[in-house]
A and B are shown apart, each in its own frame.
Chain A
């Protein structure tokens, strides 16, 4: 007979306006195991965790803790129920002392007076006994590195006597030694019978520490596997997946040799930025679509940002070939015909209190200079034109953009940049969180644009999509460009193998 899970989630549904974050997801967690939750961006990992920590309420489904149904309405309730979370961004107060951060809210007190000495003693003991950490607990937290802060956060979670510990991307800002230290502590905790939910995008780490793996994709459960039974390649293919059978056929692409003779639009030579991407070369020719493939955190967005001058280079050059101009700032980039559609549509893209028309013309207006305003008539013409061209729905120029669905917002952003007639268009996750139909439309548009001579740098977490639109694919792993793939080699299998490392 199988052991009872300490945590069980069944049929979890969570819907946001325009996006289905989780649909019918099951998840279980046993005590004394490390369970990795895997999935690409937007797969629903963080939504699931937010449900568990009481930040999101669920639309449907049930959560059981030690076989008792629970309803978690706030982080406090989740904590009291025994579910503690340590986030990637350490959620502690760096201005308070180490001891306070562990015990705040539950300080030892006598007649309401906080007993500092006792609190410091307890903190010291807890860190020594369970974290193998010997530090001065009376110093403010900001005196310590992120790695230590994370251990302190775990200590806090344990001192609330957690049954379930959620570690959300705990290793992404740690170096190799720090990761080792964290893992050895996770091992000890596991032996003590704690159930640990571990989220990461580093594949090697998953296999190093996890007993069980659950994979999510697009808000759906793909499956639950024992780590030892799931080969790495299988894991990658399950995460990236191909869920779209009903996609329309796209116009056939031309082979990559066809671009050999075309002029080079933009070129990176040994370009690198510390902590973002190792030195790489990349040429973009006129009319060519280059896909960037790799897992989350492999340096895709970072690479794109260098082409837009959004981050400074540490070494090497990125230049627009024709003008022989280095791209050093977004302003320079725009001036030389680069357009960048960010993956963070909400925060770096749409101006949500403005209308569709205003959102479309804003980039053009700023390249013209504010002293040469576009007439209202002209603005309307432009907006109407793009609404029709891109099939934006609802087709009203004066609609506030925040009322549009994700896919239509994305099209408005595309219109904004197309209007500036860029030579190089960078699309970072242009189809994230939008429905299948709109996806195909955007993909077709990319191919149309390339046929008209625009170069496109295309980033997507969905491998299939990258394959559909790209003429050439640069594969990234662990912040390093490892291979360029074109023509016959461009198959899901070969790319997955490259990503998985062999």
Chain B
């Protein structure tokens, strides 16, 4: 059989998702319906958006730990401006997106110009963003602004009686745009090149500095957008929102077949990585008796499996070469 070896992780991820869906359909009544699938998108729209940003970062060979905290900060700023200061969402949403992008841009610049590991820079960014949440308020700020509630409650009917939310549309647009950027723009290809070998990229005369900073800016922007979608979903701002989400995101990207060493990965893989996390949660809620922490256990096992799979694949590749 001649599947290109580079597609193996994606094929594995996709089949795993289908397998889980089929297994769930046989085991539980009411599992096999389009709405169950669409709920995966509705409940994970924000995760999908951050994971797209994270994919670019990981493909470039970096990591971004600040995404969860930036989501929390976005919910917090949105809530306080809309709710307490009565700002219009038309100003607030672009503003929070800009803040997210600037945070990312700043971290990217520090990572590149001072040659500091992304891990530590984005860890600092994470603490900074999380801390800023509590400067705004230590309590939950509930949002009852009509625009936000409308965004939260609007259901877009699909033929066949099922529905999706506006957030799903946003997430799908982000995914589609990301696929285009990754494969059909110079920026996208430069990200792959840098992830493959930064030294080579530099010697080939590619704009390494610009690309690296843009990657973190994009991730910051995606986190802020995910924060906006998360605000629609939760209708509140809170400093403890999205705690640990950076790790869920990294898990989703890796399960989606992106190599942590950089250079290899697909946005489609990330999409299914997120969907797998969603479907595990769904299965556990259908099961009824299991604690939701089982999600973490299963994800932990899957993550382990995928990292081993990647190792085996790259080892085989090395053998093939010699």
Question: Does B137 belong to the interface (CB within 8 Å)?
Answer: no
Please indicate the chain B residues that have their CB under 8 angstroms from the CB of A156 in the complex.
Answer: 204
With A79-B205, A112-B185, A114-B185: A104-B199 Cβ-Cβ less than 8 Å:
no
Contact of B192 among A80, A96, A145 (CB under 8 A): A96
Contact of B186 among A93, A96, A114 (CB under 8 A): A114
Question: Does B189 belong to the interface (CB within 8 Å)?
Answer: yes
Name the CB-closest residue of A to B183.
A114
Question: Does A11 belong to the interface (CB within 8 Å)?
Answer: no
B168-225 residues at the A interface, CB under 8 angstroms: 183-186, 189-190, 192-193, 195-197, 199-206
1/0 per position for A95-117, CB-CB distance to B under 8 A? 11000100011010100111010
**B263-A93 in contact (CB<8A):** yes
Question: Does A188 belong to the interface (CB within 8 Å)?
Answer: no
Please indicate the chain B residues that have their CB under 8 angstroms from the CB of A105 in the complex.
Answer: 186, 190, 204-206
- Which residue among B186, B190, B199, B205 has the maximum number of chain A CB atoms within 10 Å of its CB? B205
**B193-A93 in contact (CB<8A):** yes
Question: Does B6 belong to the interface (CB within 8 Å)?
Answer: yes
Question: Does A142 belong to the interface (CB within 8 Å)?
Answer: yes
Contact of B195 among A95, A109, A140 (CB under 8 A): A95
Name the CB-closest residue of A to B322.
A145
- Which residue among B186, B202, B203, B317 has the maximum number of chain A CB atoms within 10 Å of its CB? B203
Please indicate the chain B residues that have their CB under 8 angstroms from the CB of A142 in the complex.
Answer: 317, 321
Please indicate the chain A residues that have their CB under 8 angstroms from the CB of B317 in the complex.
Answer: 142
Once the chains are docked, how many angstroms separate the CA of A299 from the CA of B196? 32
Interface size class of B (residues with CB under 8 A): 20 to 34
Question: Does A51 belong to the interface (CB within 8 Å)?
Answer: no
Once the chains are docked, how many angstroms separate the CA of A109 from the CA of B193? 18
Question: Does B49 belong to the interface (CB within 8 Å)?
Answer: no
**A104-B184 in contact (CB<8A):** no
A34-81 residues at the B interface, CB under 8 angstroms: 53, 74-76, 79-80
Once the chains are docked, how many angstroms separate the CA of A145 from the CA of B322? 8
Name the CB-closest residue of A to B6.
A140
Q: How many whole Å from A367's CB to the nearest CB in chain B?
A: 34
**A91-B203 in contact (CB<8A):** yes
Question: Does B264 belong to the interface (CB within 8 Å)?
Answer: yes
Name the CB-closest residue of A to B314.
A142
Please indicate the chain A residues that have their CB under 8 angstroms from the CB of B197 in the complex.
Answer: 91-94
Contact of B204 among A80, A104, A140, A143 (CB under 8 A): A104
Contact of A93 among B4, B183, B196, B320 (CB under 8 A): B196
Once the chains are docked, how many angstroms separate the CA of A75 from the CA of B199? 11
Once the chains are docked, how many angstroms separate the CA of A139 from the CA of B2? 13
**A96-B196 in contact (CB<8A):** yes
Which residues of A line the B interface, CB within 8 A? 53, 74-76, 79-80, 85, 87, 91-96, 100, 104-105, 107, 109, 112-114, 116, 139-140, 142-143, 145, 156
Which residues of B line the A interface, CB within 8 A? 4, 6, 183-186, 189-190, 192-193, 195-197, 199-206, 263-264, 317, 320-321
